[in-house]
Structure 1
Amino acid sequence: MSKPSSDTVLLTGISGFLGGHVALALLNAGYKVRGSVRNLARADKVRATLTAAGADISKLEFVELDLTADQGWDAAMDGVRYLQHTASPFLLKMPSDRNQLIGPAVAGTERAITAALKAQVERVVLTSSMAAIAYGHEKTGAPLFSASDWTRLDGRPVNAYIESKTRAERRAWEMMEAAGRRNDLATINPSGIFGPLLDEDPGTSAILVKRLLDGSVPAAPRIPITVVDVRDVAAAHIAAMTDPQAGGQRFPMADKPLYFIDVARLLRTHFPDRKIPRLEMPDWVVRLYALFDRDVRDNLGELGYAKRLDSGPTITLLGKSLVPANDALMATAESLIKHRIV
């Protein structure tokens, strides 16, 4: 149902993969969207991308915000009814100093929540992650993690990204509870986000599919990828913003985990002429390679450990089943080819 233009939503991270899809969903629903970018020079590119996706951008405006700076937050929140905070650093290559990732993620969340509370926005929707739920636990078969679970930072080693998402979400809940407004926050906790790209920027998750398609991965490591479609994630952000029952809730999102070799087989079926790996890499080879590659070393704990999420609350929120993982991955592959990224 369309909303009046007075319903203004501040959307941080609008130039990102998920942020673009959230903006598209908001605009299509009739909201006025105030998108934040680190540099206003990026605004024209976002306008062009959303226009090409079929959005009416007459209700779109931009503000300049930086997760690491205090300037601009109060002005950006002026007249805002809802905050969608999707902005957060996400890197495939982990920094040597963990705080380069953790610091901006937590500080950015603090700045966004502080400004939202000051402006008395009606609801805050925070993009968190499966990373804040399912890591640091002992390996026990094929576990099912739910909204009540939290990543254990004192458990099995976790990388900087996982720690950043966990600390940022915990800080958001702490701040909202301290203000007596816990029920005015909802967090979306997706797994790896795949699906159609809106432009030629592959983002981060899509890079995994790109590497399989372009032949740069000779064999598939036995590491699982848990998949959710970006269109479902965007829809969950909108539903969590307005559903009275969504306040104070976390919403895990994932269809199912697939191993790299499963994804490779799927892609090879549809793109038989591409040099997509046919073999799975033995774990001992991955461990040997990890001695010389920090990024692989940071993810060794996930070898052979396929985690599942209980998406029941999100399915109820959306009123429909999630897009199947295979469909999300194929949408990623097709759009990588469409935009000539591979």
Structure 2
Amino acid sequence: MNSTPEHKRVLLTGVTGFLGSHTAIQLLQKGYHVLGTLRDMDRADSIRNTIGKYTTNSDNLTFAEADLLDRNIWRELTKNMDFVQHIASPFPAGLPKSESDLLLPARSGTLDIMEAATLNGVKRIVVTSSIGAIAYGKSSQELKQTLDENSWTDENNLKDTTAYYRSKTIAEKAAWDYLKNNDTGLELSTVCPGAILGPILENDFGTSANIVISLLNGSLPALPKIRFDVVDVRSVADLLIRVMEMPKAAGNRYIAASARMSFKDIAIMLKQTYPEIKIPRYEMPGMFTRLLSLFQPLLKPVLLETVQRRVDLNKAKRELQWMPISAAHAVISCAESAIKHKLIASWKN
């Protein structure tokens, strides 16, 4: 790595989140001082205790209460910071009541943080985007091509996007446009993860973990016939830090995913590991997946995955020597931790 992290300071937004807490752990382990933002300071003690189980450097972790829509707070929080890891973004388990609940904080929050970082001389900001900002909003002709970091989701194509994907696309485009239109020394890099699995640290876990939990707790009677790109949360945190530290990453987007998997692939892995659990084996046709989504909000955002999307996952590996944890390990470690935290209601132990 091209950095000496001792005493360097990182502002990390969304420290209580699934990815935020894992990233904080890895930053602290490397010697960084981390200021983590959360929406409610009442969560500070519990997240400190959680993070403290995985690093001996939790004394270098401080907290600040912040809202993505509070423009003024970011000018204060970015003072004396070397880097910003902007991870916080609304990610609902189901469909939002209003699309503006996602779009407004995602776009405005990103721009306000970038403006504040520019004002206070931050070296680089890393924005966590999503593969949803790359591989969606596509025509049938575009879907015949292999997509990569040069591809952008068309947020105006409502048929092939979700509100969440549109929010991530709009926010990331706004970040790149900000640098294009402002003469600033701030460096920007973005990371676009697929479905994030891996070990859950506490009951406040990432939405994607419901993919595994739904198969273990019996809430899915059959398997949706869909595929999606999977990545371990620890590997995303590792990539976020590589992108922050390495000079060659400035001005670049990076997809974070290790493999494309189907619900059936995941079900088979879980059945092999937990043969005593009743896990569905039958793949339901697309029309039944759509019908089930009326009763299972979890499935609504993933209905788009019935379409084949070819995505090149190699740029981060090639340029940054990133070696992600296997998708299989991401699945099983997610399951193990969900059971450990008693998130599987039917689990007998």
TM-score range, shorter chain: over 0.9
1:234 aligns with 2:237: yes
Post-superposition CA distance 1:86-134 (Å, at most 9, x none): 0000112111321111111111111111111111100010000101000
Q: Percent identity between the aligned chains?
A: 39
Residues 9 and 34, structure 2, Cα contact 8 Å, conserved in 1:
yes
Length-normalised TM-score, structure 2:
0.92
> Shift of residue 293 of structure 1?
6.6
* 1:89 match: secondary structure: coil
Partner Cα distance (1:273, 1:320) in 2: 36
Tell me the residue number matched to 2:340.
338
Residue 274 of structure 1: how far off its partner (Å) = 0.9
CA RMSD of aligned residues (A): 2.0
Q: Secondary structure at the match of 2:153?
A: coil
- SS of equivalent residue, structure 1 residue 15: coil
TM-score by length of 1: 0.93
Say if 2:208 is the partner of 1:218: no
Equivalent residue, structure 2, for 1:70: 71
Match of 2:347 in 1: none
Tell which deviates more after alignment, 222-231 or 283-292: 283-292
The answer for the alignment partner of 1:285 in structure 2 is 288
Task: Provide the C-alpha distance between the structure 2 equivalents of 1:254 and 1:190, rounded to a whole number of angstroms.
Answer: 6
Tell me what 1:135 maps to: 136
Q: Which structure 2 residue ranges, 5 or more long, are not aligned?
A: 345-349
* Number of equivalences: 341
3-state DSSP of counterpart to 1:258: strand
Question: 1 CA distance for matches of 2:237 and 2:173?
Answer: 22
**Are 1:249 and 2:252 matched, yes or no?**
yes
CA distance, structure 1, for counterparts of residue 5 and residue 101 of structure 2: 40
**What is the one-letter code of the residue matched to 1:335?**
S
CA distance in 2, matches of 1:312, 1:286: 31
User: Structure 1 293/267 Cα, relative in aligned 2: closer, same or farther at 3 Å?
Assistant: closer
Q: What's the CA shift for 1:254? A: 1.3
Preserved contact between residue 82 and residue 124 of structure 1 (Cα < 8 Å): yes
Unaligned 5+ runs, structure 1: none
Rate the CA distance shift 1:281–1:194 in 2: closer, same or farther, 3 A: same
Matched letter for residue 314 of structure 2: G
Q: Decide whether the 8 Å contact of 2:199 with 2:233 is kept in 1.
A: yes
Asked if residue 272 in structure 1 is aligned to residue 280 in structure 2, the reply is no
Residues 11 and 19, structure 1, Cα contact 8 Å, conserved in 2: yes
For 1:118-157, list aligned pairs within 5 A: 118-139=119-140, 143-155=145-157, 156-157=159-160
Distance 2:209 2:147 in 1: 24
By how many angstroms is 1:288 displaced? 3.4
Corresponding residue for residue 182 of structure 2: 179
1:21 partner letter: H
Change in 2 beyond 3 A, CA 1:209/1:180: same
Aligned match of 2:173: 170
Structure 1 residue 41: Cα displacement: 1.4
Residue-by-residue CA offset, 1:55-87 (whole Å, 9 max, x unaligned): 411111111110122242111111101011000
